[in-house]
Amino acid sequence: MEQWSFPPRFDADYLPPSGSRYWFPQRETMPPADRDACILERLKVLTRYAWDHSPFYRRKWDEAGFHPDHLRSLEDFESKVPVIAKKDLREAQARVPPFGDYLCVPGAEVHHIHGTSGTTGRPTAFAIGRADWDAVANAHARIMWGMGLRPGDTVFIAAIFSLYMGSWGALSGAERLRAKAFPFGAGAPGMTARAAMWLAMTRPAALYATPSFALHLAEVARAEGHDPRAFGLKTMFFSGEPGASVPGVRDRLVAAYGARVVDCGSMAEMTPFMHVAGTAETDGMLCWQDIVYTEVCDPQTYRRVPYGERGTPVYTHLERTSQPMIRLVSGDLTLWEGGPAPCGRTYPRLPQGIFGRIDDMFTIRGENVYPSEVDAVLNAIDGYGGEHRIVITRDGAMDELVIRVEISPERAARGADAMRALHDDAARQLSRVLGLRSKIEVVAPGTFPRTDFKARRVVDDRDVFRELNARLAK
């Protein structure tokens, strides 16, 4: 296959013909069975590499009774290689700081250090080797090519440049693509209004951000006198949170900007994180299996579920040497189906993207509720003001769900009847989708703060319930 080796080596000057839909036509369109055979050979090399270079994997596999010599099929890989979780990585880094004993290259070869914030405990450090950073850039450029981006396009990166991998990964891909990279950033006071000004000035071809920030940016742009459609964006690609594959959210983004919306992104640990990503012709996400091998698994057994069923993605790097993840459990929830996709690529597809984290799910009176389901319903309702909060409470022995919904300024101007109509519509639609009764409170436009990063809309607050219940009773 085109430029597929381990360790990865890429021609830094390679670009496909400008009219090509594919960066690597053979890799992207080959029969899935042929690709699986190649992936199996790569997994044999990868597991031997990890065995030789990582005490972490050697110890983990010894405990499970696995040795690389045992790997003769993808079914062997699935059934014999144990999964790893984020807690395993944190424990390894506590034991062997700062990068853990799954760092498989000398420390002198580390080129980029990123990580988690550590706000809820010990942060996790991501060490990316110099050769791996080149491989990340090539993978992201290839996937961005599939989104429709081309050399010379301006890519406006409106995400925080800090520990967060999303912004840096988008930058690396844009640079390798020979695009004009505009690392604008996000997060500082007043920066959103300046982003609108710069977008109007530069009229870039593409914008990268989180969906929440892009919706917030559209509101601020209008307030500053700009029409977001006049920015001339052709492609907007998103990661960091569910949304770009949620119909209601995607439709609002398209309506605001008139651009193609592409969903992408898995986990920072799995950088190149764009290995699950849509294309110019394919909604949802493709699993670019020759970059990161993705299994969608039962969250209890970690065995693959059939196409058409839900499960949690389990990821394995195929082009990383510095901190290779081998069967890392994501903890997310998705549904997958087989290819080929509308764009002609033969990868498996996540048609609804990634719904969110399994541990974000909550249960109300026996019904499982995912925040992304609430997002999808509200974003499809006329009069929704763009933000909401999901309040999980308990009244006596019963769980309760209160959803506080902002009304749009246009609908609010119509008075109390319009607020009641939004209330009734939200209550009806949420009941139909969630299968349970929830209490709806319609609140004024601008009640909830907007975010320059990932939105946090779920509140588990038992004390506030009585206040809200009393207000609703009035």
In single-letter form, the type of residue at position 177 comes to L
SS3 52: helix
Distance CA 425, CA 417 (A): 12
- 208 within domain boundaries: no
Residue 388: give the domain boundaries: 361-473
| % of the chain with per-residue pLDDT over 90 | 77
Per-residue confidence (pLDDT) for residue 273, from 0 to 100: 96
Tens of pLDDT, residues 133-142:
999 999 999 9
How many domains is the chain built from?
1
Tens of pLDDT, residues 174-207:
999 999 999 999 888 899 999 999 999 999 999 9
Tens of pLDDT, residues 320-354:
999 999 999 998 989 999 989 999 999 999 999 99
Angle, CA 192 vertex, CA 381 and CA 137 arms, to 5°: 95
Q: What is the DSSP string of 202-269?
A: H--SEEEE-HHHHHHHHHHHHHTT--GGGG---EEEE-SSS-TTSHHHHHHHHHHH--EEEEB---GG
- 370 within domain boundaries: yes
Residue 474 pLDDT > 60, yes or no?
A: no
Tens of pLDDT, residues 377-423:
998 899 999 899 988 876 655 567 889 999 999 999 999 999 999 99
Closest CA relative to residue 207, chosen from 222, 191, 196, 223:
196
Which residue(s) pair with 304 in the sheet?
297
**How is residue 64 written in tokens?**
């499970």
- 385 within domain boundaries: yes
Distance CA 412, CA 414 (A): 5
For helices 130-146 and 165-176, the axis angle rounded to 10 degrees is 80
* Between 102 and 331, the higher pLDDT residue: 102
- 388 within domain boundaries: yes
| % of the chain with per-residue pLDDT over 70 | 93
Report whether 49 contacts 28 (CB < 8 A).
Answer: no
The residue-averaged pLDDT of 13-36 equals 97
Q: What share of the chain is helix, strand, coil (3-state, %, to 5)?
A: 40, 20, 40
Angle, CA 24 vertex, CA 22 and CA 27 arms, to 5°: 110
- Residue 382: CATH number of its domain: 3.30.300.30
Per-residue confidence (pLDDT) for residue 462, from 0 to 100: 43
User: Could you say which DSSP state residue 377 is in?
Assistant: H
- 280 within domain boundaries: no
- 268 within domain boundaries: no
| pLDDT classification of 272: cutoffs 50, 70, 90 | very high
- 28 within domain boundaries: no
From the number of C-beta atoms within 10 Å of its C-beta (0-12, 13-18, 19+), residue 202 rates as middle
* Alpha helices in 346-437, H assignment, sequence order: 371-379, 409-412, 416-434
CB neighbours (10 Å) of residue 300? 8
From the number of C-beta atoms within 10 Å of its C-beta (0-12, 13-18, 19+), residue 76 rates as middle
Distance CA 378, CA 81 (A): 42
The residue-averaged pLDDT of 241-263 equals 92
Residue 143 makes CB contacts below 8 A (sequence gap 6+) with: 173, 264, 272, 274, 275, 277, 288
**HSE-CB of 158 using CA atoms within 13 angstroms:** 32
Distance CA 263, CA 183 (A): 20
- Per the prediction, the chain carries an average pLDDT of 91
- Low-confidence winner among 21-35, 96-110, 268-282, 374-388 (lowest mean pLDDT): 374-388
The residue-averaged pLDDT of 296-307 equals 95
SS3 125: strand
Report whether 39 contacts 13 (CB < 8 A).
Answer: no
Residue 453 pLDDT > 80, yes or no?
A: no
- 204 within domain boundaries: no
Q: What is the DSSP string of 301-324?
A: T--BPPTTSEEEEEEEESS--SS-
Residue 47 makes CB contacts below 8 A (sequence gap 6+) with: 57, 68, 71, 81, 326
Report whether 278 contacts 285 (CB < 8 A).
Answer: yes
User: Could you say which DSSP state residue 415 is in?
Assistant: -
Closest CA relative to residue 309, chosen from 343, 339, 350:
350
